[in-house]
Amino acid sequence: MVITLIGYRGVGKSTIAPRLADRLGWNWIDADIEIEQRVGRTIAEIFQQDGEPGFRALEAGVLLDLLSRDRLVIAAGGGAILNPHTRETIRAAGPAIWLTASLDSIYSRLHGDSTTATRRPSLTGADPRTEIETVLNARTPLYTETASLVVDTENRSPESILDEILQALPSSLTNGGRR
């Protein structure tokens, strides 16, 4: 079984994934970092050299490999849900947890992250706030379709978010895995 954390950039997937995996006694992977390691380029470089379609093809292949594993928590890239086959595979592999936050919080988190400009390519060419709003509007139906649980990260500590996730997971996953 695999637990996949989905959601827009900056909602906390990479923060929650290692904590969740630790509490379950599982492994975890940040899918974006895995893609970069496999191809030896940053996501921004992949977007620049191969375009978004090239990146999305790489992303789908890496995710299909990761989703075939067991006892793994994946912090998926924000656009992982764009591919219909990937959405279906995420749902079949185990719980898909959609982490959410308000547009203002996402903007603030991304603006305050010094790696955003180098690691997260613009998806629309618009100003950051407009891009977040545009992309969220387009992806929300896909996140909704994919998610088995929605967790709001707005003004919450990682421990509070983690506790909500653990309470919602089947007891067969959390018994014996809690520390």
| Predicted pLDDT at 178 | 44
pTM listed for this prediction: 0.90
Q: Within a domain: residue 64?
A: yes
Q: What is the reported pLDDT for 61?
A: 96
| Residue 175 falls inside a structural domain | no
Write the pLDDT tens digit of every residue in 17-63: 999 999 999 999 999 999 999 999 999 899 899 998 999 999 999 99
The verdict on residue 62 lying in a domain is yes
Do the Cβ atoms of 7 and 16 come closer than 8 Å? no
Compute the radius of gyration of the chain from its Cα atoms: 16
Q: Is residue 173 domain-resident?
A: no
Residue 101 in domain: yes
Q: How many residues does the chain have?
A: 179
Residue 69 is given by DSSP the state S
> What per-residue confidence (pLDDT) applies to 177?
45
Given a cut of 70, is residue 7 above it in pLDDT? yes
Predicted local distance difference test score (pLDDT) of residue 110? 81
* Residue 179: inside a domain: no
Band of pLDDT at residue 171, cut at 50, 70 and 90: confident
Q: What CATH number did the domain enclosing 80 receive?
A: 3.40.50.300
- Note whether residue 176 is domain-resident: no
Write down the pLDDT at residue 22.
96
Residue 134 belongs to some domain of the structure: yes
Number of domains the chain is built from: 1
Backbone angles phi, psi at 137, to 5 degrees: -60, -40
Q: pLDDT of 75-97, one tens digit each?
A: 999 999 999 999 999 999 999 99
CA–CA separation, 147 vs 138, rounded Å? 16
The three-state secondary structure class of 178 is: coil
Looking at every residue in the chain, the average pLDDT score rounds to: 89
**Token reading at 22:** 């630790």
Confidence (pLDDT) at 66: 97
Query: Domain span at residue 65?
Result: 2-167
> For residues 96 and 14, what is the distance between their CA atoms, to the nearest angstrom?
14
Residue 80 Cα distances to 77, 92, 101, 156, 178, angstroms: 5, 15, 18, 24, 28
**Burial of 151: CB neighbours in 10 Å, binned 0-12, 13-18, 19+:** buried
pLDDT value at position 123?
63
Read off the pLDDT of residues 84-141 as tens digits, 9 standing for 90 and up.
999 999 999 999 999 999 999 998 888 766 554 555 565 666 677 888 899 999 999 9
